[in-house]
Copies of this chain bind each other. A is one copy, B any other.
Amino acid sequence: MSMESTFTKEIIQDIRDLLESKQEDKLLERIGPIHAADLAMVVNELSIEEAKLLFEFVDAVKASEILVNMDEDDRDELVESFTAHELASYFIENLESDDAADVLGVLSDEKTEEVISHLDDVDHASDIVDLLQYKEGTAGSIMAKELVKVQENWTVSTTVREMRKQAENVENIYTIYVTDENDLLLGRLSLRRLLNTAVKTQISDIYKPGLEVVKTYTDVETVANKMKKYDFVAMPVVDEIGRLVGRITIDDVVDVITEEAEKDYQLASGISQNVDYSDNVWMLTRARLPWLLLGLLGGIFGAQIIGLYEADLRLYPEMAFFIPLIAAMGGNVGVQSSAIIVQGLASESFLSLEIFPKLKKEFMVALVNGLVCSIIILGYNLIFSESMNMSITVSIALLCVILFAGLFGTFIPLVLNKYKIDPALATGPFITTVNDILGLLIYFAIGRMMYA
């Protein structure tokens, strides 16, 4: 009963061979039982020529489903290679307005206009044009215009008739929205209630007023957090004066949540753009090199700090032994504390954004961790090291570094967030690098005091 859902190179090779030998019937038979989302993964791997041939063979509905499921980079490249007429008839006519706007996003204004001009359905065309206006990252940019809405002054029987019409264009209904005659959103109507009410009843008597909404300009992360928090599968989008203009469904929001989580994870790992393994060497390099250069700069500063203590090192080379320890621990603690703040900010779970109470709490955590680590390393040094001075230096420095790194890692993302800068930037290489440098300063300063 279940269809295939994992892919092997063999399947891609099969499809390639059938494409090359232009065996249309055999190809259709081979891909018939495969879900569009899986076929999209295959098409990602094909050359432009192969992909275009495949799209010629399959019907337009399947073609458009495959297209929207493709990786964005591969899809954009492919979309640009089609003529405006092909785009309109193969894909855009069969896509919901939000997916259509998404696909067209990569094209120039002129070509987009040309594609739109080839659409027969004027309503569909104007829906897409509407959506293209909204700024990326806003609710307007990810909403769809397709939804089921009924008016409060209709009767149940009018409503059922109208709903049948509207449902033609809507893949999943989820919610029946109730508006006044000016499209002002009033509330929602339960399908159960509708089915159980006499046909002459007016909608105004049976709908449930009040509804959680978002504005067209609300940013998508806020939308995602709301839908996640309230367990919504769809959410209405209204304009400045409360008119219903579209709705956002959970599948779009799942993508937002995933991308957001991936982005934070990547930033924490020192990867500055949304790349994945399938991207080419050049893109992967470009996403990683900036953070490495930051680390390089940090290393140069570190070298200069140690350079200041060259004379001390000549006398007490054992001071060098614990440089990696001090640097690593500062980095680790900073990353931990910033990650906890970044995650709290991302899930909007802080009751207040006050900085001081958070520093106080982190101080306690860092103090416990710092004392444990310092005592362990003191024990180690008392047993294995001959220098009492160094033993004490390392332990005191380690405690200071852990305390400092914890506070710094807590403070920076909160401040960035206050100034509307993505706090996730503060995790990973940035915090590690800064804590490396400051850790060395603390270590050598304490060392000089102890040895003086």
Contact = CB atoms under 8 A, between A and B. Distances in A.
A335 B281 contact: no
Contacts of A327: 324, 327-328
B352 A325 contact: no
A41 to B, nearest CB: 8
Q: Which of A261, A349, A376 has the most CB of B within 10 A?
A: A261
A231 interface: yes
A440 B328 CA distance: 13
Contacts of A249: 233
A46 interface: no
Interface residues of A, number: 128
A447 interface: no
A361 interface: yes
Interface string A247-280: 0011101110110011011101111000111100
A292 B332 contact: yes
Given A258-B261, A336-B291, A7 B351 contact: yes
A275 B332 contact: no
Interface in A197-255: 210-213, 226-231, 233, 242, 249-251, 253-255
A116 interface: no
Contacts of A41: 349, 351
Nearest to A68: B231
A285 B369 contact: yes
Interface string A362-386: 0011001100110011001000000
Nearest to A38: B229
A432 B327 CA distance: 12
Interface stretch (A14-22, A107-115, A134-142, A294-302): A294-302
Given A277-B341, A328-B327, A233 B172 contact: yes
Contacts of A427: 269
Give the secondary structure class of A's interface.
helix
Report how many copies the assembly holds: 2
Nearest to A345: B277
A144 interface: no
A336 B285 contact: no
A300 B172 CA distance: 60
A350 interface: yes
Nearest to A380: B300
Contacts of A304: 321
A329 B293 CA distance: 9
A37 to B, nearest CB: 5
Interface stretch (A78-86, A151-159, A306-314): A306-314
A258 B228 contact: yes
B250 A233 contact: yes
B262 A296 contact: no
Interface stretch (A87-95, A120-128, A188-196, A415-423): A188-196
A271 B342 CA distance: 13
Contacts of A270: 332, 335-336, 339
B368 A285 contact: yes
A313 B317 contact: yes
A271 B230 CA distance: 28
Contacts of A230: 35, 37
Given A265-B343, A298-B324, 10 more contacts: A41-B349, A276-B343, A291-B336, A292-B369, A292-B373, A296-B325, A302-B322, A306-B321, A307-B321, A328-B436
Interface of A: 1-3, 5-9, 12, 35, 37-38, 41, 45, 69, 164, 167-168, 172-174, 185, 191-192, 195-196, 210-213, 226-231, 233, 242, 249-251, 253-255, 257-258, 261-262, 264-266, 268-271, 275-278, 281, 284-285, 288-289, 291-293, 295-296, 298-300, 302-304, 306-307, 310, 313-314, 317-318, 320-329, 331-333, 335-336, 338-341, 343-344, 347-352, 358, 361, 364-365, 368-369, 372-373, 376-377, 380, 402, 427-429, 432-433, 436, 440
6 residue pairs, one from A and one from B, having the closest CB atoms:
A299-B325, A261-B261, A269-B339, A302-B324, A303-B321, A320-B320
